[in-house]
Chains A and B, each alone.
Chain A
């Protein structure tokens, strides 16, 4: 199994801050990495696919980078609606996809 880790597990930030979340795979997954946002009581929502491609309709303040084993999700200027939990997910090992444990972003 490919294991996914995320850091930090949680962070506190202010509106306007630049936020970076890291995801690491236990083996190389090329660019087979997606990012999802989940708000309390809601379903996950796709933000970034294939490591760096922005899903249609997602604000451009979100960006993704990385390949191989190390990946980053960046929010360039945190907005009130961005407080949520963020999950990475590998799609390399089909069909045994795995998620990271999540990073909770809350208000400082």
Chain B
């Protein structure tokens, strides 16, 4: 079974750093892009960026460029999303998802989500 399992919920203070993870299993991790999506409380879905673990090629949404860093460690089939200095506005649920490419492309499956709460 193809699965993405994310790390657990985090509670942080403004200014702290954080790295959350997304571990893939049941498929060739290096052969599929992994994307990250933010969902702020009560709001919709926003693309943050995407990485190809095979060669670490990374692309960011302009809205998130410079705000977060996406990385991957293919030796342990894990992608990461990190912040160097969190803000209260980073409070959200974060999802990773695998990109499938056919005639078009889509995302499946999705991780279960990691809730990040930033509060003083």
Q: Which residues of A contact B (CB under 8 A)?
A: 30-34, 36, 38, 43-46, 49-50, 55, 87, 89, 91-92, 94-102
Contact = CB atoms under 8 A, between A and B. Distances in A.
B54 to A, nearest CB: 15
Contacts of B62: 96
Contact of B45 (A45, A46, A55, A99): A99
A50 B44 contact: no
Contacts of B104: 30-34, 49-50, 91-92
A56 B37 CA distance: 23
Which bracket fits the contact residues of B?
20 to 34
A38 B97 CA distance: 14
A49 B106 CA distance: 6
Given A43-B95, A87-B44, A87-B45, A95 B106 contact: no
Secondary structure at the B interface, as helix, strand, loop or mixed, is: strand
A43 B108 contact: no
Given A95-B50, A95-B59, A96-B61, A46 B106 contact: yes
Secondary structure at the A interface, as helix, strand, loop or mixed, is: loop
Interface string B83-118: 000000000000101001011111111111100000
Nearest to A34: B106
A46 B4 CA distance: 14
Contacts of A32: 104-105
Nearest to B106: A49
Contact of B103 (A33, A50, A101, A102): A50
B47 interface: yes
